[in-house]
Amino acid sequence: MISISPRLLRIYLLIPFAVFFLSGCEEEPPVLPGLKFSSITVVSEPAGAAVIFNNKNTGKVTPTVIEGLEPGFYKIDLKLGKYIDTTFYTLVARDQQDTMLLAMRENPSDWWQNWNSSNSPLPMNTINKIIIDPRGDKWLATNGKGLVKFDGQAWTIIDRSNSGIPDNYILDFLVDRNGRIWVATPEGFGRSDNGVWTVYNRQNSNLPDNYINCLDLDGWGNVWIGTYSAGLVKFDGATFKVYNTGNSGIPSNRINAIKTDDNGNVYIGTHGEGLALYSPSTDGWVVYNQVTSNIPGMIVNRITVDQKNDFWVGFTGSTGPVGVSMFNRKVFTNYTPANSGFAGSLVTAIANAPDGKIWVTTADAGVSYLNNGRWTRYTTANSGIKDNSALSIAIDRDGNKWIGAGGLNLYVGGK
């Protein structure tokens, strides 16, 4: 008679169960009745990115749906020409339908180009304003090296050494319908007519202040001039008329920005007293400040008009960031860091793109655009812009952006 120890008996009895268990693990467990698979909808901005799922090409492009997923941890890669490859990981539960929306980051070398004083004849990297003329030439106002024209190939520098321009510090300028160039400088303002300069200052005219911050032209050919300390000036080509706090309803003598409308009204951005409206036809004044309106700031730095004939106003905060506002001549729609994704404490320029997007440069937070209530921002951290101190912007007929930030930047995206 064979004697079996109790310990061995327990082992023999467990063997059939172990064999059954191991053989059952050779294949993945079936999905039990009533249990559902999950799915992920993958959307990219822009669309058309190839979808790689767990390192395998799915043959699909965004937007697309990946279906039949068991619970687990998954890796998804997106690939699109001229964009940096994007990878994300997601944890999927049972019976789960998720949507993943990803903004593809542009490859800077494919979207940005920069000209600066080291790689081109551009005389300095600080550009206060950019204008694109009807021929497509770019005119740049520098902060100490005169006026520069760039036709895409050649550079032309207009400064005190080779012209009658009043000063090399160009604070503002414009090109009129006759192709004449008007410049605002700390030494008066000037007009170039086919290279022949006429300069107006306190010494040779009734101009009350040599330090000219800004200027604009109305539909009748009058030049409206904003001074640093002597108010607003109208110049009709022969005579000067001065509007200051002593003889008019203007609230401040320090003028930062001017914009005229089709009716001849003049919108004036002051330094500390909000926005003022002057109607020459009635000689009437309206002041928009934080008592009389919902304007968000009192230091108005820039004013422009969009395709709907609404005004866009940019501010500098006295105690903190203020942002920009759309003004429909009644109320301000404000976009501030507190109520939107806008960033930056000093607005330096505002431009209206052909597609209706509003582009804003700031002295401390790069450049941003507004589209359908959402801000998209470009800085040195996520784009090819050369400096986060962006001082100027102009947009050409093709929607390309020319930005003054660490030199001249060309950005062909954002359309």
Query: In the predicted model, what is the mean pLDDT of residues 98-111?
Result: 92
| Three-state DSSP state, 6 | helix
Query: Is the pLDDT assigned to residue 31 strictly greater than 80?
Result: no
- The H or E element spanning position 204 is none
Contact 111, 82 (CB under 8 A): yes
pLDDT, one tens digit per residue, over 152-188 is: 999 999 999 999 999 999 999 999 989 999 999 999 9
What pLDDT does residue 11 have? Answer: 31
Residue 116 CA to residue 107 CA, distance in Å, equals 20
CATH classification at residue 396: 2.130.10.10
Task: Say how many C-beta atoms besides its own lie within 10 A of residue 412's C-beta.
Answer: 14
Q: Does 359 lie in the same domain as 308?
A: yes
Range of the domain at 55: 38-106
For 322, residues 6+ apart whose C-beta sits below 8 A from its C-beta are 296, 297, 299, 315, 316, 336, 345
Tell me: pLDDT of 415 over 80: no
Assign 36 a pLDDT band (cuts: 50, 70, 90).
confident
Identity of the amino acid at 13: L
pLDDT at 141 over 60: yes
Last residue of a domain, one of 71, 106, 141: 106
Whether residue 6 lies inside any domain: the answer is no
Q: Do the domain assignments include residue 25?
A: no
Please check whether residues 174 and 261 belong to one and the same domain: yes
pLDDT digit string (tens) for 350-399?
999 999 999 999 999 999 999 989 999 999 999 999 999 999 999 999 99
pLDDT at 305 exceeding the cut of 80: yes
Is the pLDDT score of 401 beyond 90? yes
Domain end: 106, 134, 159, which one? 106
Contacts 24+ apart (CB under 8 A), 155-163: 155/120, 155/121, 155/122, 157/121, 157/123, 158/192, 159/123, 163/192, 163/195, 163/197
Q: Does 109 score more than 80 pLDDT?
A: yes
Instruction: Say how many C-beta atoms besides its own lie within 10 A of residue 310's C-beta.
Output: 15
* Same domain (yes/no): 231, 278: yes
Residue 53 covered by a domain: yes
Q: Which helix (H) or strand (E) holds 13?
A: helix 6-24
Instruction: Look at residue 414 in the predicted model and tell me its pLDDT.
Output: 83
Question: At residue 35, does pLDDT exceed 80?
Answer: no
* C-alpha to C-alpha distance for 216 and 71, rounded to whole angstroms: 64
Lowest model confidence (mean pLDDT) among 15-29, 107-121, 224-238, 337-351? 15-29
Question: Residue 286: how many CB atoms within 10 A of its CB?
Answer: 15
Distance CA 151, CA 252 (A): 39
Average pLDDT over residues 241-259: 98
The share of the chain scoring above pLDDT 90, in percent, equals 87
Which residue, 81, 106, 131, sits at the end of a domain? 106
Query: Look-up: residue for tokens 């002295």?
Result: 363
Residues 311 and 375 in one domain: yes
Is pLDDT at 73 greater than 60 in this prediction?
Answer: yes
Give the whole-angstrom CA distance, residue 141 versus residue 172.
7
Q: Are residues 67 and 164 in the same domain?
A: no
364 shares a domain with 221: yes
197 and 56 share one domain: no
* CA pair distance 405, 402, nearest whole angstrom: 10
Q: What is the pLDDT of residues 183-230, one digit of tens each?
A: 999 999 999 999 999 999 999 999 999 999 999 999 999 999 999 999
**DSSP of 361-407, one letter per residue?**
EESSS-EEEEETTEEEEE-TTTSS-S-S---EEEE-TT--EEEESSS
| Residue 105 near residue 80 (C-beta atoms within 8 A) | no
Task: Give the residue from 322, 283, 289, 301 showing the smallest Cα distance to 226.
Answer: 301
- Report the pLDDT value the prediction gives residue 270, as an integer from 0 to 100: 98
AA identity, residue 141: A
Q: Per-residue pLDDT for 12 more than 60?
A: no
CA distance 215 to 297: 22
Q: How many domains does the chain have?
A: 2
In a domain, 362, yes or no: yes
Which pLDDT score, from 0 to 100, does residue 34 have? 55
252 lies in a domain?
yes
Q: How confident is the model at residue 24 (pLDDT cuts 50, 70, 90)?
A: very low
The mean-pLDDT minimum among 3-12, 91-100, 263-272, 311-320 falls in 3-12
pTM of the predicted model, to two decimals? 0.86
Nearest Cα to Cα of residue 302 among 243, 357, 259, 363: 259
Greater confidence, 5 or 398? 398
- Cis bond upstream, residue 123 (ω within 30): no
Q: What percent of the chain has pLDDT over 70?
A: 91
Query: What is the token pair recorded at 410?
Result: 């060309």
Q: What does the alpha-carbon distance between residue 78 and residue 262 come to, in Å, rounded to a whole number? A: 49
pLDDT, the chain, mean: 91
Residue 23, pLDDT > 90, answer no
Domain identity same for 121 and 264: yes
- Specify whether 71 is located in the same domain as 202: no
List Cβ neighbours of 395 (8 Å cut-off, separation of 6 or more). Answer: 132, 351, 352, 353, 354, 359, 401, 402
Residues 165 and 73 in one domain: no
Instruction: Give φ, ψ of 6 to 5 degrees.
Output: -55, -35
DSSP type of residue 31: P
Q: pLDDT band for position 8 (50/70/90)?
A: very low
Residue 374 and residue 233 share a domain: yes
For residue 8, is it within any domain? no
Per-residue pLDDT, 334 = 96
Q: Look at residue 110 and give its three-state secondary structure.
A: helix
| Residue 114 and residue 100 share a domain | no
For residue range 40-50, what is the model confidence (pLDDT) as tens digits?
A: 999 999 999 99
Task: Give burial (CB, 10 Å; 0-12/13-18/19+) of 396.
Answer: middle
Residues pairing with 132 in the sheet:
138
Q: What is the CATH number of the domain that holds 85?
A: 2.60.40.1120
Specify if 306 maps to a domain.
yes
d(CA 189, CA 343): 33
CA–CA gap between residue 115 and residue 117 (Å, rounded) = 7
Q: Is the pLDDT of residue 117 over 80?
A: yes
d(CA 123, CA 145): 6
Please report whether residue 145 resides in a domain: yes
